[in-house]
Amino acid sequence: MTRINPALTAIALTLALTGLASAQDAVSPIRLNQLGVEAAGPKRAVLADPSTSPLPWTLSNAKGAVVARGQTKVFGSDTTSGEHVHQIDFSNFKSAGDDYRLAVGAAQSRPFAIGGRMYGALKADALGFFYQNRASIPIEARFVQRPDLARPAGHAPDKAACFNKADERGQVWAGCDYTLDVSRGWYDAGDHGKYVVNGGISVWTLLNAHERAAVLGKTSTLAAFSDGKGKIPENANGVSDLLDEARWEMDFLLAMQVPQGKTLGLPVGPQKPGANGRLVLTDLDASGMAHQRMGDEHWTALPTAPADDKETRYLYHPTTAATLNLAATAAQAARIWKTIDPVFSARCLDVARRAYAAAKRNPEVYALGAFTGSGGYGDGNLEDEFYWAAAELYATTGAAEYEKALRASPLFLAGPSAGGKPTGDIGWPSVGALGTVTLALAPNGLKPAEIGRARANLVASADRYLADGLTEGYALPYAAKGYPWGSTSSVLNRAMVLGLAADFTGKVAYRDGAVDAMDWILGRNPLDRSFVTGHGARPMLNPHHRFWARQADARYPAPPPGVLSGGPNSTSMGDPVAKDMKGKCAPQTCWTDDYRAFTQNEVAINWNAPLVWVAAWLDEPAR
């Protein structure tokens, strides 16, 4: 296996940890993946240049000898980057080595490597993000990259009753007559909240990475996350460390279920607050539903270590969306742990069944409160959550009830952009495609032709993503007039679909599309920045995070490697940094490496989860 430029990687990591990377390297006029490129795979770089004619390029080796040459392809004006760009394709050169350089006239790239599997460290670091964001457990120095990343347990235990006072609009919530211990789980993002909706897609993605590898016999991925490979306390229990990490969140999700026999006053239907700011609350049998979130009454200051959080914490009212997230992930977990831990599996299945029944009984309870101290994750369309939950339960049980629900859904077997009613791109408010992925991948009772349709719709969606890449100057499989909050995860979720299309068809084009997505994440973008800490020549340094906050306070640590920034955001620019950029930046350039820029540089579990999935997928032997 060829080494991937270890000197540059070590330098970048050291500088990132000391906060000096900004002085390490100027912006390169030639942008490409800062970890390097694959010897056997696609090799593309991008140059911003006003020339309307192709330009000659050369590739030189470590000795300065020219080993390949060609002409740039003029893409022209690129709306989302705001640049006039040329693309450089040197895929035909396949000799591995370090310290190659591309040059176009006076423009020259920084040294880069051409090699083999290059994402082993990234997939491990990206998974390590979740351990370091655990609640209710000390983060131990023996499991982290630097001593300053260790910290005492936060919220241990994490017990709370229901919110029982007036919210921001004056709506009074009655609370409940019980307290739940919802310890464990991951802090969702830069704050200390824990959310069932966002936890759902995050844990599903990690579990799917395992299930896909198990079903398709991808032994390298299973081995990479096997017991003993992870830097976690459970790394000697005989269970995959990827599953151990996912279970930490699953335990929290299970604990968020409303006990049996409980009636709560909840908002039913797509209400808008009245003139007095109030909602209509209806007493409902909430047994089996899931609370939307667990979080602080007020936002904690930045920075604040989890153990120093003194805010009162509450359970916020149950919602149908949270309940269906619980049903889906608990059913998925029941399937995966069936032989690993039969007792845990049975508990998960019982929770999943009760949650699904509760959602059917209360199908329109939305997240409508106005609470400070935690994000809302409101979602007014639950068609996709119902389909996803039914798909997971059907794959696990084969029961006729869930099959009937699947077949009645307009999303049945649909992909993000193909099928009877396309599901839309994968994201926390759009989870329909997760159900189709499960039906296409996990053994289930559908007819072979139907499983084939599910796969075909995912492949057709991947074709759409490849077509989008042809319209983008930076050749990423993502086309949008405006970049949303968490755009990096939008790109990586598309890369997951491309990866599955490659699995199902064996066609190299889909893998190449996934490579294009990761190339953009790791530096082939108009900012010439890697959006992942500790990986690349110019990595993100200053996330919006309550603990990894050295930029805000030198007593706090810089982030560990493997943390993904939310990335460019041109559509929701409300933080103190972004508001001054509004209307002044092309969509791909609306990003600042600043802890105050929470709309652009926050981190989140649902962003790092697809980074784990895609990095692991790309690191598999493929050629």
Q: Supply angle C-alpha 434, 126, 33, rounded to 5.
A: 95
- How many CB atoms neighbour CB 337 within 10 A? 23
Quick one: pLDDT at residue 16?
Answer: 42
**CA of residue 310 relative to chain centroid, distance:** 29
Quick one: pLDDT at residue 81?
Answer: 98
- Kindly tell me if the per-residue pLDDT of 15 is higher than 90: no
Among the listed residues 593, 594, 619, 620, the single catalytic one is 593
Among the listed residues 98, 158, 241, 602, the single catalytic one is 602
Going along 61-214, which residue ranges are E strands? 66-71, 73-78, 83-89, 97-104, 107-108, 112-115, 159-161, 179-181, 194-195
> Which of 355, 364, 308, 312 lies closest to 331 in space, CA to CA?
355
Quick one: pLDDT at residue 42?
Answer: 97
623 — pLDDT class (breaks 50, 70, 90): low
User: Average pLDDT of the chain?
Assistant: 95
- What does the pLDDT look like over 95-110, one tens digit per residue? 999 999 999 999 999 9
- Kindly tell me if the per-residue pLDDT of 264 is higher than 80: yes
Quick one: pLDDT at residue 375?
Answer: 82
291 — pLDDT class (breaks 50, 70, 90): very high
- What does the pLDDT look like over 114-131, one tens digit per residue? 999 999 999 999 999 999
Q: Is 516 a catalytic residue?
A: no
- Kindly tell me if the per-residue pLDDT of 344 is higher than 90: yes
- Kindly tell me if the per-residue pLDDT of 19 is higher than 80: no
- Kindly tell me if the per-residue pLDDT of 622 is higher than 90: no
Single-letter amino acid, residue 299:
W
52-66, 204-218, 370-384: least confidently modelled range? 370-384
Angstrom distance (rounded) from CA 291 to CA 315:
7
pLDDT (mean) for 374-391? 95
- Kindly tell me if the per-residue pLDDT of 167 is higher than 50: yes
- Kindly tell me if the per-residue pLDDT of 564 is higher than 90: yes
Residue % of the chain over a pLDDT of 90: 94
- Kindly tell me if the per-residue pLDDT of 433 is higher than 80: yes
- What does the pLDDT look like over 488-513, one tens digit per residue? 999 999 999 999 999 999 999 999 99
Quick one: pLDDT at residue 14?
Answer: 40
Angstrom distance (rounded) from CA 306 to CA 192:
7
pLDDT (mean) for 541-554? 98
In this structure, what DSSP letter does residue 307 have? G
Among the listed residues 191, 245, 392, 468, the single catalytic one is 191
- How many CB atoms neighbour CB 50 within 10 A? 8
Domain with CATH 2.60.40.10 in the chain: 6-119+521-601
pLDDT (mean) for 446-450? 98
Q: Are 477 and 495 in contact (CB under 8 A)?
A: yes
Q: Are 250 and 330 in contact (CB under 8 A)?
A: yes
Quick one: pLDDT at residue 270?
Answer: 94
**CA of residue 473 relative to chain centroid, distance:** 24
Please report which residue ranges of 442-559 form alpha helices under DSSP H.
448-470, 487-505, 508-521
Q: Give the DSSP H/E element, type plus range, for residue 45.
A: strand 44-48
Cα dihedral across residues 291, 409, 390, 134: positive or negative: negative
191 — pLDDT class (breaks 50, 70, 90): very high
182-186, 368-372, 412-416: least confidently modelled range? 368-372
This model's pTM is above 0.85? yes
17-26, 302-311, 431-440, 449-458: least confidently modelled range? 17-26
- Kindly tell me if the per-residue pLDDT of 6 is higher than 50: no
φ, ψ of residue 78 to 5 degrees: the values are: -115, 110
Q: Are 310 and 301 in contact (CB under 8 A)?
A: no
Structural fold of domain 126-512 = Glycosyltransferase (1.50.10)
In the block, tokens 């968020």 appear at 256
Residue 121 Cα distances to 204, 456, 467, angstroms = 22, 33, 31
Hey, what are 108's tokens? 């020259």
- What does the pLDDT look like over 592-603, one tens digit per residue? 999 999 999 999
Angstrom distance (rounded) from CA 135 to CA 143:
15
Angstrom distance (rounded) from CA 136 to CA 157:
6
535 — pLDDT class (breaks 50, 70, 90): very high
Hey, what are 200's tokens? 């759902």
What is the CATH number that goes with domain 6-119+521-601? 2.60.40.10
- Kindly tell me if the per-residue pLDDT of 306 is higher than 70: yes
Domain with CATH 1.50.10.10 in the chain: 126-512
Among the listed residues 544, 545, 575, 620, the single catalytic one is 544
Residue 500 backbone class (left: φ over 0; alpha: ψ -120 to 50; beta: rest)? alpha
Q: Is 191 a catalytic residue?
A: yes
